[in-house]
Structure 1
Amino acid sequence: MEGHDHHDHADHDHGDHGAADDCMGHSGHSMVFHAGVCQEILFSGWVTRSALELLGSAAAIFLCGVLYEGLKYYREALFARHSAAAAADSQVNIAKSECGARCSGTAVVKYSMLSSGHAAQTVLHAVQAAASYLLMLVFMTYNVWLCLALVLGLATGYFCFGWRKNTVVDVTEHCQ
């Protein structure tokens, strides 16, 4: 009889919780695609419990995808700008050098390990790598709406920034 009373009490407590607790037990990390509203995203404090919260989170993830593509373009543009400036400096040095006509006029541009350009590229690379892995973890929620928002954000970002790219193959890609 005691076991039966305990069971009734547990059922009664479960029924009295508000709508905020309706997601409890449903925010686990399932490894199948789902379209549920209740979703824990990246951090224990980022939990969606309604369609409106999920929509807001999807919009934020969409924006993160666009910004991620913008960061990739910015890194490439920064490198190209630094390379062009260094190439111009190298051309001046070649013209002033003793080899004169024997020089081919081509210059190989490299960052030095301690240059400010390399330091900036290193910091931006770390930000890009962290963002890439965080976006991968968002995709690994397997929530169809969040995955769709991420893919559409990345596609929109590529549409906005990708046409300016100087290279065909992006060697800075991480997980996407």
Structure 2
Amino acid sequence: MDHSHMNHGGMDHGDMGHGGGGMADMCNMNMLFTWDTTDLCILWKGWHIRGPVSLVFSLLAIVLFCASFEWFRITIREKDADGTRLAETVPRHRQVKIEQRSHAAQTVLFMIQTFWVFIVMLLFMTYNGFVWLAVTFGAGLGYYLFGKSTPAARENICH
């Protein structure tokens, strides 16, 4: 069928991804390791690296996020140990109730930890060297600051 005689003047083709003004907001999704930060988006389109300043602030945010994750993991481990010691000191009929509450709280904390660790994994999956270094440095900083009393916390963060 020949469409050459049809008038296409009133049709808007501006949002079809063929270039134009919308390209400035495109995210660069790498599937191989790179140090390039041109149009790097971290986790979602709104976290778009547009220059050196946004890169530095983003890397600092990632370091803090990963360091706080280490604090969270280590704190949970210490609270679990404290709860076990506390449950052993109360009468048996109260232990069941304490254990049920404790298990419910541990489940919620486990859910938060699982969500957090997968966000860290998604950060790593940017395949960007700067982000990898920020994740690694943040985890190391968190362990250095908060892991003094818990040597068992050196296990891998992926559950």
The answer to whether TM tops 0.5 is yes
**TM-score (structure 2 length as normaliser):** 0.75
**How much has 1:35 moved relative to structure 2?**
3.3
Note the alpha carbon deviations across 1:110-129, whole angstroms, 9 max, x for none.
97797111111111111111
Mapped partners of 1:162, 1:45: distance in 2: 33
Max Rg structure: 1
Match of 1:174 in 2: 158
Q: Deviations over 1:42-86 (max 9, x none)?
A: 112111111111111111100011011001011111101111101
Contact 2:29 2:126 in 1 (8 A): no
| CA RMSD in angstroms, aligned pairs only | 2.9
Question: Aligned ranges for residues 19-168 of structure 1 at < 5 Å?
Answer: 21=24, 24=26, 27-89=28-90, 115-165=100-150, 167=152
CA contact 1:37–1:51 (8 Å) conserved in 2: no
d(CA) in 2 for partners of 1:150, 1:156: 10
Preserved contact between residue 67 and residue 143 of structure 2 (Cα < 8 Å): yes
Task: Report how far residue 163 of structure 1 moved.
Answer: 1.6
Judged with a 3 Å threshold, the aligned counterparts in structure 2 of structure 1 residues 111 and 134 are, in CA distance, closer, same or farther, namely farther
Distance in 1 of aligned mates of 2:151 and 2:80: 11
Aligned partner of residue 167 in structure 1, secondary structure: helix
Aligned partner of 1:174: which letter? C
Whether the 8 Å CA contact 1:111–1:118 is kept in 2: the answer is no
Partners of 2:139 and 2:112 lie apart in 1 by: 16
Count of residue pairs brought into register by the alignment: 140
Aligned equivalents of 2:151, 2:133: Cα separation in 1: 28
Q: Find runs of 4+ consecutive structure 1 residues off by over 6 angstroms.
A: 110-114
Output the TM-score relative to the length of structure 1: 0.68
Deviations 1:22-52 (A, max 9, x none): x74x612332232324211111211111111
Q: Identity of paired residues, percent?
A: 27
Structure 1: stretches of 5+ with no match in the other structure: 1-13, 94-109
